[in-house]
Amino acid sequence: MAWRAALRSKAVIPGLLSCSSHGRLCASPTFITQRNNSTSPKIKVDYDQTTGVAVMHMQSPPVNSLGLDFLTELCISLEKLEMDKGCRGLIITSNQPKVFSAGLDILEMYGKSPEHCGEFWKVVQEMWLKLYGSNMVTIAAISGSSPAGGCLLSLTCDYRIMADNPRYTIGLNETQLGIVAPFWFKETMVNTVGHRNTEVALQLGLLYKPAEALKIGLVDQLVPEDQVFTVATQTMTKWLTIPEHARQITKSMMRNPTIDKLRTNREADIQNFVSFITKESIQKSLRMYMEMLKQRKA
Amino acid sequence: MAWRAALRSKAVIPGLLSCSSHGRLCASPTFITQRNNSTSPKIKVDYDQTTGVAVMHMQSPPVNSLGLDFLTELCISLEKLEMDKGCRGLIITSNQPKVFSAGLDILEMYGKSPEHCGEFWKVVQEMWLKLYGSNMVTIAAISGSSPAGGCLLSLTCDYRIMADNPRYTIGLNETQLGIVAPFWFKETMVNTVGHRNTEVALQLGLLYKPAEALKIGLVDQLVPEDQVFTVATQTMTKWLTIPEHARQITKSMMRNPTIDKLRTNREADIQNFVSFITKESIQKSLRMYMEMLKQRKA
Amino acid sequence: MAWRAALRSKAVIPGLLSCSSHGRLCASPTFITQRNNSTSPKIKVDYDQTTGVAVMHMQSPPVNSLGLDFLTELCISLEKLEMDKGCRGLIITSNQPKVFSAGLDILEMYGKSPEHCGEFWKVVQEMWLKLYGSNMVTIAAISGSSPAGGCLLSLTCDYRIMADNPRYTIGLNETQLGIVAPFWFKETMVNTVGHRNTEVALQLGLLYKPAEALKIGLVDQLVPEDQVFTVATQTMTKWLTIPEHARQITKSMMRNPTIDKLRTNREADIQNFVSFITKESIQKSLRMYMEMLKQRKA
C-alpha cells in the first residue's frame, strides 16, 4: 500500500500535520469510505470495570488524523469516562500500523471559513484541556510515529511509552510547515522537556527518533514494538496503587497554572489562530505542504 | 533493635512521615524518655568561630522526626546563627544511624485539634522560610534515608551530599500516605530537579536510591558513608571563598520569588493544611499508615 | 606575549570582567593605540547577500572587552542588519586568539561617575535586548574563553558552538569578583541550563570547561578549534531552511516573557546597577580584581 510504503521510506514521517484525505491521494476508496462514514467510530473504547482502566484505540485510517469529528468523538468519550468514578486510568493507543497519530487534520484548516477554523480550534483546545487536566491516570502507548498534534496528544498524558523503532519519530514540527505551535503546546512541552530543549525543538520543528526523544525526556520509556501496550498496562497498575485523591490534587497542582492560562484566554486564542491560519500566505504554505505529501506518495 | 532491623530490611525506608513514638512501638523506653525530656536538646549545634561554620547535628531518636519541639528548637538555633555575622556556613547532619530525618512527625497531625495542627504547620513553614532564605551557605550532609520532610529539609540547602548506600532513599513521598506536598514543597523540588521530574516524583510519591537521586539532581554528590561529613566540610570551605555579599544577593535573586509566594500566602496555606489534614478520610489514612509501620516492626 | 602566556597559564581565564587597558598593563603599545583609535572598527561585519548571512568578527584587542564604544558599535551594526530584510542569519565570532570575549569592560565601571555607569549599563541592556530578541538566526562561534559578559553574549544566540579546548572556559562568574549578575543575565541562563544549574553556577561564579559546559547545556556543540566557524556556517544553513515567519514567531514566544521583564523595568535596572556599582565596597572589589590581574601578568 502506498501509504505504508511512504511511511517506510521515512519520507512521510517528517510530516507535520496529517491530511485525512490521504486515502484519496493514494486512490484508496477504503479511506474515502471511512472518512465519510461518520457512524463508524473513529475511536474504540474498551473499559474494564474490574480494573477501572479504559483503553482508547484510535482507529481512524490511515493515520488517525485529528479532525473535527475525531476530536469531538474523543472529547465525548473522555467526558463519559471522567464522569464514571470507577474509571481511574486511561491508556491511549493506536490501531493503525506505524502511526500513533499524525496530528491535526490539515483539511480542517485549508480552504475553510473562519467559522469552521474557529470551531475546529475550539475542539482542539477542548481535547487538550480535558486530557492535560484529567483526573484519571493517563498513559500514551505510542505505537508509531507521532508528529505535531499527535505529539501534543501524548504530551498531555502522565506517562509516555514509545515503540523502540528508529523509523518512528515524535515532535512538535509545526514550523516545518510554516505554522506555529500555540503557547499552550509550547508550555506543555516546556513542562516536559524544559525551556531550552523546547526553544530549539519548536524553532526547528524537530522530529526525534525514539532514542533521542527518550534522552531529552519527550518520552519516558522505550520498549520493543510488540510490548508497548503490555508495558502500558503494567505501568498503569503501578500508578493506580497511589492513593487517588492525593495523586489528583498533586497533578492539579503541577498542571493547573498552565491550564488556567488557556482557560482564561480561550476566546483570544481562537481569534489568534483563525486570523493566522486564514492568511493567504499560510494557506499557501498548507497547500504546498499537501502537494509535497502527494508527490511523495506518487 | 527492631527499628534498625526494620530500616535494614528496607521495609520502613519507604515510610513517608515519621512517627516520633516509634520508640514506644518497639518498646524501647529510652525513646519515650528522650521524647518527653524536653530539656535534652534535639539538635546539637557546634559552632567554630575560627572557620565561621556551624554544624547542626540532629539527634532526636529514633529517626529525627520533625515534631513541634524539634522544629521550634531548629528555628531558634537558626535565628541565633543567622544573627551572628561571623557565622557564614551551616552544615546540617544527623547523629542517628541510617537516617537523616524521617520527616514531619505524624503524631503532630493525627488526632490533634485544628489549633495544634495550625501551630505545627506554622513552624514547618518557619523552618522552610528560614533555611531556604538563609544568608549562610547551607550544606546537607545526608548520612541516611531522608523521606518527605527530611527530603524537604535537605532541599532547602545550597548543596546536598549523600551517603552512597543503596539502602538509603530520599524523596517527597507524601502521596504514598494519601497526603499532598504543599505548593512550596513542590516549588522547592521544581527549582531543584525541574518540572517533569517533580510531576512524576510527587504523583507517585517516589523515593530514590542515592544513584537515582544523583541522576535527576535531587542530590549533588554521593560519597562513601564515612566521608559524608568530611566532604561537606571541604565543600563548605570552597563555598566560603566566594565574596559574601555577592553570593547572598545572587541566592536571594534565585530563591526569593518562591519564598515570596509563601510569605504572602502564609495564613491561607495554614488554613488549607488544617482543613485538609483534619478531614476524617485523611485522619484514617494516617492511622492506617501508622498501623502499617507498627506491623512492619512486629 | 604576556597576555597569551597568561591565558595559557589558565591564570587569567577565571577572570570575570575584562579590562580594556590590559594592553597598558603588559606594556604593549599596540593595545593602547587600538584602544584609543575609535575610527578603527572594533567589529568587522561581513555580510553575504547571496546567503543572507552576516558574520560579526569581534576584533578589539586584546580580549574583546565589552566597553561603551564596542557595545555602541555592536548595537548600530545589529540595527542595520536587523532592518535589512535580506539578512536572515548572524554568526558572532572573535578574531582575537584564545578568547571570544572577556566580558564587560571594568574600566567603564571603575572610578567613573554615576552618569557614565548609567550610560554604560544602558548600552549593555540594549545589546542584550537586540540580540536576545533578534529576528535573525543567531549563532555564537565561541573560539575561545568567554567569561561573564562574553558568556552572556553567547547565551543570547540561538545556538552555541564552542572550541573543544580544555584551556578555555565559559560562565557567568560575576560573584568571583564581588559583583552580581542582574536578573536578566540570570533568566537568560535559567532559560538555557535550568534553575538548579544556574543557582549553583551564579552563586559560585563557576567557569566551565567546554566538556562541562556541554554537559549542562551551556553550549550546544563542541568542535575542534579550527572548525568552529565552518560548523557554525553549516549549522546556519540548516536553520535557514525553516520557514522564516513561523520560526520568528516561535522564537518570540519563547523569549518575549523574559525580554518584557527588562523592557518594562529598564530604568529601575539602571538605577539599581548604578547605585550598586558606585558603592565604595564594590569599587574596592573592582580595584583589587584589577590589581590581581596585573600581578598575574607580571
Q: So what's the pLDDT on residue B10?
A: 35
User: Which of A15, A52, A89, A149 is flagged as catalytic?
Assistant: A149
Strands (E), A199-290: 221-223
User: B55 - beta bridge partners?
Assistant: B46, B91
C41 CB-contact burial (10 Å; exposed 0-12 / middle 13-18 / buried 19+): middle
**Rounded to an integer, what distance in angstroms lies between the CA atom of residue A152 and that of residue A131?**
10
User: A146 - beta bridge partners?
Assistant: A170
pTM of the model: 0.90
| Average pLDDT across chain B, whole number | 89
Q: So what's the pLDDT on residue B58?
A: 98
Which residues of chain B make contact with A254, given a CB cutoff of 8 A?
186, 195, 198-199, 202-203
Nearest of B174, B68, B173 to residue B117 by alpha carbon? B68
* Listed range (A130-134, B9-13, C107-111) with the worst mean pLDDT: B9-13
**Rounded to an integer, what distance in angstroms lies between the CA atom of residue A156 and that of residue B160?**
33
Q: What is the ipTM of this complex?
A: 0.88
Which residues of chain B make contact with A253, given a CB cutoff of 8 A?
180, 183, 186, 202
Residue-wise pLDDT for C117-167, tens only, equals 999 999 999 999 999 999 999 999 999 999 999 999 999 999 999 999 999
Task: Please report all neighbours of A, defined by 3+ CB atom pairs within 8 A.
Answer: B, C
Judge contact between A48 and A87, C-beta under 8 A.
no
Which residues of chain A make contact with C194, given a CB cutoff of 8 A?
194-196
- Read off the pLDDT of each residue in B184-193 and give the average, rounded to a whole number: 98
Nearest of B223, B192, B199, B184 to residue A252 by alpha carbon? B199
- Which 8-state DSSP code applies to residue A135? S
Q: Which of B194, B238, B247 sits opposite C175 (nearest CB)?
A: B247
> Do you find a cis peptide bond into C97, omega within 30 degrees of 0?
no
* Listed range (A141-145, A187-191, B195-199, C6-10) with the worst mean pLDDT: C6-10
Q: Is residue B13 scored above 90 in pLDDT? A: no
Query: Which chain C residue's Cα is nearest to A181?
Result: C250
Q: Test A179 with C254 for CB contact under 8 angstroms.
A: no
**Rounded to an integer, what distance in angstroms lies between the CA atom of residue A106 and that of residue B268?**
47
Which residues of chain A make contact with C218, given a CB cutoff of 8 A?
none
Active site residue A197: no
Residues on B contacting C at a C-beta cutoff of 8 Å: 158-159, 190-194, 217, 220, 238-239, 242-243, 245-247, 249-251, 253-255
Q: Test B242 with C204 for CB contact under 8 angstroms.
A: yes
**Which residues make Cβ contacts (< 8 Å) with residue B166, sequence separation at least 6?**
B209, B210, B211
Judge contact between A183 and A191, C-beta under 8 A.
no
Task: Identify the residue among A155, A190, A254, A255 best suited for mutation to test binding to B, counting B beta carbons within 10 A and taking the highest.
Answer: A254
Judge contact between B184 and B138, C-beta under 8 A.
no
Judge contact between B221 and B162, C-beta under 8 A.
yes
**Rounded to an integer, what distance in angstroms lies between the CA atom of residue C95 and that of residue C99?**
9
Q: Is residue B14 scored above 70 in pLDDT? A: no
**Which residues make Cβ contacts (< 8 Å) with residue A88, sequence separation at least 6?**
A52, A53, A136, A137, A240, A244
What is the least distance, in Å, from the CA of A224 to any CA of chain C? 29
Amino acid letter at C55?
V
**Rounded to an integer, what distance in angstroms lies between the CA atom of residue A129 and that of residue A126?**
5
Could you give the residue numbers annotated as active site of B? 104, 149, 173-174
Q: So what's the pLDDT on residue B182?
A: 97
Q: Which of C190, C220, C242 sits opposite A203 (nearest CB)?
A: C242
Judge contact between A13 and A25, C-beta under 8 A.
no
**Rounded to an integer, what distance in angstroms lies between the CA atom of residue B224 and that of residue B213?**
15
Q: So what's the pLDDT on residue A15?
A: 38
**Which residues make Cβ contacts (< 8 Å) with residue B254, sequence separation at least 6?**
B191, C186, C195, C198, C199, C202, C203
Residues on A contacting B at a C-beta cutoff of 8 Å: 158-159, 190-194, 217, 220, 238-239, 242-243, 245-247, 249-251, 253-255
Other residues' Cβ atoms within 10 Å of the Cβ of residue B226? 9
Length of chain C: 298
What is the least distance, in Å, from the CA of C188 to any CA of chain A? 10
**Rounded to an integer, what distance in angstroms lies between the CA atom of residue B196 and that of residue B184?**
16
| Average pLDDT across chain C, whole number | 89
**Rounded to an integer, what distance in angstroms lies between the CA atom of residue B15 and that of residue B170?**
10
For helices A148-155 and A183-193, the axis angle rounded to 10 degrees is 60
Cell triple for residue B223?
A: 560519597
Residue B20's pLDDT band, with cuts at 50, 70 and 90, is low
Q: So what's the pLDDT on residue A197?
A: 98
Walk along chain A (298 residues) and give the pLDDT tens digit of each residue.
232 333 333 333 333 355 554 333 232 222 323 343 445 799 999 999 999 999 999 999 999 999 999 999 999 999 999 999 999 999 999 999 999 999 999 999 999 999 999 999 999 999 999 999 999 999 999 999 999 999 999 999 999 999 999 999 999 999 999 999 999 999 999 999 999 999 999 999 999 999 999 999 999 999 999 999 999 999 999 999 999 999 999 999 999 999 999 999 999 999 999 999 999 999 999 999 899 888 887 7
Query: Which chain B residue's Cα is nearest to C200?
Result: B158
Rg (chain B; Cα; Å)? 18
Residue-wise pLDDT for B74-106, tens only, equals 999 999 999 999 999 999 999 999 999 999 999
SS3 A209: coil
User: A99 - beta bridge partners?
Assistant: A145
**Rounded to an integer, what distance in angstroms lies between the CA atom of residue A272 and that of residue A122?**
12
Query: Which chain C residue's Cα is nearest to A193?
Result: C194
Amino acid letter at A155?
L
Whole-number Cα distances in Å, A206 to A7, A151, A201, A209, A218: 17, 11, 5, 10, 12
Query: Which chain C residue's Cα is nearest to B240?
Result: C204
Helix/strand/coil (H/E/C) assignment for every residue in A5-45: HHHHCCCCCCCCCECCCHHHHCCCHHHHHHHHCCCCCCEEE
Per cent of chain B over pLDDT 70 is 87
Q: Test B191 with C186 for CB contact under 8 angstroms.
A: no
Residue B39's pLDDT band, with cuts at 50, 70 and 90, is low
> Greatest CA separation found in chain B?
54
Which residues of chain B make contact with C281, given a CB cutoff of 8 A?
245
User: C54 - beta bridge partners?
Assistant: C47, C90
**Rounded to an integer, what distance in angstroms lies between the CA atom of residue C12 and that of residue C150?**
14
Q: Which of B192, B245, B250 sits opposite C196 (nearest CB)?
A: B192
Whole-number Cα distances in Å, B149 to B153, C145, C226: 6, 42, 52
Q: So what's the pLDDT on residue A212?
A: 98
Query: Which chain C residue's Cα is nearest to A281?
Result: C245
Which residues of chain C make contact with B251, given a CB cutoff of 8 A?
199, 203
Whole-number Cα distances in Å, C79 to B267, C134, C245: 51, 10, 19
Q: Test B250 with C175 for CB contact under 8 angstroms.
A: yes
Could you give the residue numbers annotated as active site of C? 104, 149, 173-174
Which residues of chain A make contact with C242, given a CB cutoff of 8 A?
175-176, 203-205
Nearest of B160, B162, B205 to residue B180 by alpha carbon? B205
Rg (chain A; Cα; Å)? 18
Q: Test C203 with B242 for CB contact under 8 angstroms.
A: yes
**Rounded to an integer, what distance in angstroms lies between the CA atom of residue C250 and that of residue A190?**
13
Helix/strand/coil (H/E/C) assignment for every residue in chain B: CHHHHHHHCCCCCCCCCECCCHHHHCCCHHHHHHHHCCCCCCEEEEEECCCCEEEEEECCCCCCCECHHHHHHHHHHHHHHHHCCCCCEEEEEECCCCECCCCEEHHHCCCCCHHHHHHHHHHHHHHHHHHHCCCCEEEEEECCEEEHHHHHHHHCCCEEEEECCCCCCEECCHHHHCCCCCHHHHHHHHHHHCHHHHHHHHHHCCCECHHHHHHHCCCCEEECHHHHHHHHHHHHHHHCCCCHHHHHHHHHHHHHHHHHHHHCCHHHHHHHHHHHHCCHHHHHHHHHHHHHHHHHHC
Which residues of chain B make contact with A247, given a CB cutoff of 8 A?
175, 203-204
Q: Is residue C10 scored above 60 in pLDDT? A: no
Whole-number Cα distances in Å, C183 to A13, B77, B251, C189: 42, 32, 11, 10
Q: Which of A178, A180, A203 sits opposite C158 (nearest CB)?
A: A203
Tell how far CA C37 is from the center of its chain: 22
**Which residues make Cβ contacts (< 8 Å) with residue C61, sequence separation at least 6?**
C23, C30, C31, C34, C96
- The CA dihedral of B24, B30, B33, B34, to the nearest 10 degrees, is -100
**Rounded to an integer, what distance in angstroms lies between the CA atom of residue B41 and that of residue A195?**
46
Could you write out the DSSP letters of every residue in C188-248?
HHHHHH-HHHHHHHHHHT--B-HHHHHHHTSSSEEE-GGGHHHHHHHHHHHHTTS-HHHHH
Rg (chain C; Cα; Å)? 18
Strands B159-163, B170-171: pairing is unpaired
Task: Please report all neighbours of B, defined by 3+ CB atom pairs within 8 A.
Answer: A, C
Q: Is residue C246 scored above 80 in pLDDT? A: yes
Amino acid letter at A33?
T
Residue-wise pLDDT for C25-34, tens only, equals 232 222 323 3
